[in-house]
Structures are given as structure tokens and as C-alpha cells.
Chains A and B, each alone.
Chain A
């Protein structure tokens, strides 16, 4: 089945530094990648939607200059948290929408990244 590989699974960084999270679709082409943020025992909050080769569309209240999203190819999307602060600590999850299976709405989720900013 379809797999999205998300790395790193855990990262601890110092306040003020930047962190990059990668999501790769291993056996399908993801025309659209969704990036979510999840707080403990809460639902997923959509941060942005990115389409290959286009600028990402950010949800209201999400700072696009802080959360940089790149979707340069159909198999790779990255989220960079710039100048991270402790309040950015969270669980980040990506989800790829498959081209060929779009009519069946095949969403595949990465395994998530636990970001801790100290």
C-alpha cells in the first residue's frame, strides 16, 4: 500500500534555531500534501495545503513566514519551522493525497514528528 515516510520522528532543538521536517511518498505521487499540527489528546489542526510546484495555502492564523512549506516534487514535501520557540513544540503530521487514487480519496499519513523546543 501507499506509504508516506516522515522524518525525523523526534527532534529536540534550541530556541531560535530552525528545524526541517521531510515527508516522502514512497510508492505514489502526492499532488497535494497537507500539514497538520496536533496538541496532546487533541484533534489535528490543518496548517497548510501544498500542491507540487505551487506556493502553499495557509490556514487562517498560521504564519507562513514561520512555517515554510516546500513541495518541489510529487514525492517530497518539507516543513521548516523557523526561529523555533517553546510554543512551537507539538506533533506535526503530513498527509499525501494520491494522484491516481484521487477519485477514491486516498489520503496517506506520515508517522508524525514530535518537535520539542527547549
Chain B
């Protein structure tokens, strides 16, 4: 069964310090991986995605993520956190298309609340 795990419900970090939000996945084949951010009562905003190529992906607002196939992980990172980064972060995977059975569904992790304190 396909799944995505975000092991931490909440991550606390001081402003200016580096941050990491963890994500591991379990899917058949090579996955397409995504990170989204959600602010209160808003939809999801795209941060970055890994499809193929370099394992280190750079995205919006200074975020980056590293695809690690052997560890089946796609952790989100930022060198220097801002208070405005405080939000709910979701990791998601989509399995690569195989024939007509793929519907393009994204499978989301349970979300990690990032709290950046001044």
C-alpha cells in the first residue's frame, strides 16, 4: 500500500536557525514527490517537487529538499528559518503513471506544524 509518513507532528525552531521537516514514503516504483505549505484557513501552496534528475531540489521561499532513494526519504530543509515560515507543511507522493490505472492522486502525509520563534 502506498503511504507517506511525516513522523513529527510539530517542529520548533528559533528564527535564523536551520530547519528540517521529515518525510518518508512507501510506494511502488519511482515516486513523484511534493512539498506543500498551508496557512490557516487557506489552500495548499506548492513549494517544490522531485520528478527526476538531481536529488537536491530547490523550491520557493528558500526551501529545498533532498530525495534519498535508499532511505525512501524526502526531507524539507531551509538554512535559516523565518517567523513567517510558521505554518502546516505537507509531504505528498504520486506514483508514476502505468497504463490507464493511474488517476494522478496525491497521497499526503499527516502534516507537520512548523513553529518558528523569534
A63-107 with Cβ < 8 A to chain B: 91, 93, 95, 97, 102, 104-105, 107
User: Is A46 part of the contact surface with B, judged by Cβ < 8 Å?
Assistant: yes
Contact A109 B44 (CB under 8 A): yes
Contact B32 A105 (CB under 8 A): yes
User: Is A111 part of the contact surface with B, judged by Cβ < 8 Å?
Assistant: yes
Contact B43 A105 (CB under 8 A): no
User: Is B88 part of the contact surface with A, judged by Cβ < 8 Å?
Assistant: yes
In the complex, what residues of B have CB within 8 A of residue A46's CB? 105-106
Contact A42 B94 (CB under 8 A): no
In the complex formed, the residue of B with least CB distance to A51 is B103
B73-118 with Cβ < 8 A to chain A: 88, 90, 94, 103-106, 108-111, 113
Contact B111 A49 (CB under 8 A): no
Considering only CB atoms and an 8 Å cut-off, how many residues of chain B contact the other chain? 23
Considering the chains assembled together, what is the distance between the CA atoms of A93 and B108 in angstroms? Answer: 13
Q: A43-B111, A107-B46, A109-B44 are in contact. Are A34 and B51 (CB under 8 A)?
A: no
Contact B34 A34 (CB under 8 A): no
Q: A46-B105, A49-B105, A97-B104 are in contact. Are A105 and B42 (CB under 8 A)?
A: no
Q: Which A residues lie at the B interface, using CB under 8 A?
A: 4, 6, 9, 32, 34, 41-44, 46, 49, 57, 91, 93, 95, 97, 102, 104-105, 107-112, 114
Further contacts, 4 of them, CB under 8 A, given A41-B88, A110-B43 = A34-B106, A41-B113, A49-B104, A105-B94
Q: Can you show 24 pairs from A to B with CB atoms below 8 A apart?
A: A6-B43, A41-B88, A41-B113, A43-B108, A44-B108, A49-B104, A91-B41, A93-B43, A93-B44, A95-B44, A97-B104, A102-B104, A104-B51, A105-B32, A108-B46, A109-B43, A109-B44, A109-B46, A110-B43, A111-B42, A111-B43, A112-B41, A112-B43, A114-B41
